[in-house]
Structure 1
């Protein structure tokens, strides 16, 4: 149990904690983010986590995952949001390759609306990247406000020498340690859309990515020609040269003009969700339904042992220590 929620599986893990699939007493599926013990003991990290919760709660919109519950003073601290049974953009592209132009445009429209809701709440996300974009049946969802700026903090400069974000999707001003305002999220959006269309970040990754983002043009050769001008504007070096979100929405989904003569009814466009994404959603939904309708314990004992062992490994313990813990029934 985490708070009042029963844990039925593990969704992901990262440097700061784990994300579990949880279930409320009524059966509602939730994504429960739990902070690692070593960070939970850090008062400064707890404050940062509380700010993440405040930022996530402040945002409402069709394309973000709503906060359901949280305990920032818990041991460990945790945050519960609605569960989105779909893969991340990073997973989808890694498994099935780049999205079609139609799918990229539809996803872009959803991400623009998500950023509009985020910015309207006084939040700057600062970490928009493929792993933080979930692909749901009715559009994308932006998640993870772990390094977002909210309220008064949104107008302050990051502590000198501190660079926060995911390098291939960070804006030039983030690398320079300047104030990351709304235009910074627009830059990251351009990089995310380029990744969705090509399978690679527009400035690459690894050594030299900071220099390329600050000084060089993005590599957009694989982006559909009709999308390139839009992404080039999003990826402008100067924040003032990037388009606003309302303008972006018009460009992503241009208004259609009535044809001069009647034309045959076009076939339905199966752009969203992409077929592979739809299959991933179906598999996740079937698994969730199976868990919801199971009787007794929600996981078999082998699953519990495997989950516990993987959790211990994530915490940096050795195989021998994990085996001893599981052998003692220490879970």
Structure 2
């Protein structure tokens, strides 16, 4: 049995994570900390857990083996470093931190402590994206020329997100820092080393952070990714399009179409493929990895690569320029 503490209810996914943990049957939620005492205390009562107003006191508890971090993104580095130093395994909501420098500090603490770390990258567990990775690895698309991913909803348009979601000091950004994480980490996973990035962010509802955003990224393999996200679009179908010199994959939801010069088909044209099985959610994999001493999915390097893209995207937006990434082995 794994004893877990929930570190803040700030993030909109926090309650869902707690519910999921309680459904697994091998997890006890034993304690809660929150930077807002009233919110944390009420949530602890709801969960049947102890509330600790002092984070250090919570991390000293013998009935806490691991923590789920849903604090404001701006607090991630301090919270996770404290947890690692206390010997607690860590699951964190994306983004890992606001800067690569903060990610490096977290990574150093986690490695020094020898605890297990996982970041929430659910799109990497879904069948269409797993299929895309499989097709790339098998060479059925040839060289990738273009990746386009769209992810959006109407949370800012219809005001169903909490108002603090638009506080840059807490969240670090708007649509791209929130929903945009998913296209960002998928692009990093599929295309590798980024070369340069541009951004176009807009403020449709007049809030302090962007609610409609697009980034264009060129990768070292010459592929281009167009990553689109929005908090102001109505009934937005997800879009995932991967174009190569020898094949194309287009997915919307679970509907997938594929064509390749290498495909084994009696008739030329678009074909349907059997999708891979979905992998367990990252939170489930984290729990299983701790209890069974297994490998962790979506680790420190993955989280740092996401933050590298996000940090550069916001610099490109603020400074209205193309940001170049330092290349391995470069000056």
Is the strand fraction higher in 1 or 2? 2
Higher RCO (Cα < 8 Å, 6 or more apart): 2
Do the structures match in fold with TM over 0.5? no
TM-score normalised by the chain length of structure 2? 0.30
